[in-house]
Structure 1
Amino acid sequence: MDYKQLIIRGISYSQTQTGAYALLLEHEETNIKLPVVIGNFEAQSISLGLEKDIHPPRPLTHDLFTKFIISANFELVSVIIYQIVDGVFFSNINLKNKITDEELILDARTSDAVAMSVRFDAPIYTTQQVLNEAGILLELDDLSKDEDVFSEKINNEEDNLKNISMDELQKLLDNAVKEEDFDTALEIQEEIKRRKKKID
């Protein structure tokens, strides 16, 4: 089958479901976006997987499963979003044994599959049919109104973070990670990155 590769375009607060997020996947060749509604935990897990710099004091479920896969000599080869039924996406996680080349396909929620794929830097694919059924074409102007996961909170608290020294920011970051307040940790991490870019 001719699969279409998707990239993670961002995560935003869901406009349709309270307390949920929308994971925005994009087919780069056509700019068609695939919005997937996910929960708060999955949004945090995907964001942490993308960040790479923030490590929770105890492993999250997806981190634990990642270690198990590696310990079993498997690697995550790809994720395929193969179907949508009544607004629900169905996905497979494709694994391969590094020693025997044995292939293993696991059924998974799309949010979990994406959270795993970012930990292995594995590609995400879908079918043309799924794109036809659930894909939307958004202009960049529309996207700018709907920023990434924690940008709304960042905008509200940005001025407060700007007035804090780098040392204090680092302490706040360490404390947020320790307390497992990943929303705040990601906000602080973004502020630290912005300052480092200015220095460079």
Structure 2
Amino acid sequence: MDYKRLIIRGISYSQTQSGAYALLLEDEETNVKLPVVIGNFEAQSISLGLEKDIQPPRPLTHDLFSKFVTSTNYTLSSVIIYQIVDGVFFSNINFKNNANGEELILDARTSDAVAMAVRFEAPIYTTPQVLNEAGILLELNDPTNTDENIDVVSMEGDLQSLPLEDLKKLLDDAVKDEDFDTALELQHEIKRRNKKIE
């Protein structure tokens, strides 16, 4: 099978389903985008997996399962989004035993598969058929839509008017309260300011 490698382009509130998010994956060769509707918890988990420097006070479900996989001497080698039926994506998580090379394939929701893949920095693939059926071609010329900037809905109030020290304190408080959406928004503002300083 000729698989197409996907990269994560962003996460935003879903325009079609209330209370849901859209995970935007992109074929790295053709720039065809694959939008996947995911839940709030999975969106937070993927975002936290991408932001390696934010650690929740207690492990999330995907962190716990990742630790279990590692402790049993397995590695997550890849994720394959292999099918779409009535708008629902089907995915496999491919594991490899580090001791004997034996492979293990588990069926998973795509949102969970991606949340695991980011923790292992494993590649995400799909089939040409899935891209043809569900892919869209968008031009993302907006400079805020980069791999480092996950598009999260803005917080109330203007972060740009707050001093850097206040932002850092708010970030610490948000992580302690497990308010990861706010934490990510604050983290992006702090990173934006640090880039200007450099």
State the TM-score, normalizing by the size of structure 2.
0.93
Gaps of 5+ in 2: none
Aligned to 1:136: 136
**Residue in structure 1 matched with residue 39 of structure 2 by the alignment:** 39
Task: Quote the offset at 1:170 in angstroms.
Answer: 1.5
CA deviations 1:118-169 (Å, max 9, x no partner) are: 0010000000111111111112258979x9441x315x53x3x223222222
1:53-94 CA distances to partner (integer Å, 9 max, x unpaired)? Answer: 110000000000000001001010000000001110000000
> So what's the TM-score if we normalise by structure 1?
0.92
Contact 1:96/1:103 (CA < 8 Å) preserved in 2? yes
Question: Percent identity between the aligned chains?
Answer: 76
Question: 1:180: which partner in 2?
Answer: 178
> Who is 1:121 aligned against?
121
Cα deviation digits, residues 92-120 of structure 1 (max 9, x gap): 00000111111100100000000000001
Are 2:191 and 1:190 aligned? no
**Aligned residue for 1:153?**
154
Give the equivalent residue in structure 1 for 2:167. Answer: 169
Q: Which has the higher helix share?
A: 1
Distance 1:23 1:68, change over 3 A: same
Provide the rounded CA distance (Å) in 2 between the counterparts of 1:162 and 1:141. Answer: 23
Cα 1:177/1:144, change in 2 over 3 Å = closer
Distance 2:141 2:104 in 1: 41
* SS of 1:140 mapped into structure 2: coil
Q: Is there any run of 5+ residues in structure 1 with no aligned partner, and where? A: none
Contact preservation (8 Å) 1:21, 1:38: yes
Partners of 2:170 and 2:122 lie apart in 1 by: 32
Change (3 A) 1:113 1:174: same
Q: Is it true that 1:15 corresponds to 2:12 in the alignment?
A: no
| C-alpha distance in structure 2 between counterparts of 1:140 and 1:52, whole Å | 25
**CA 1:43 to 1:77, structure 2 compared with 1: closer, same or farther past 3 Å?**
same
| RMSD value, Cα | 1.8
Runs of 4+ in structure 1 off by over 4 angstroms are 141-145
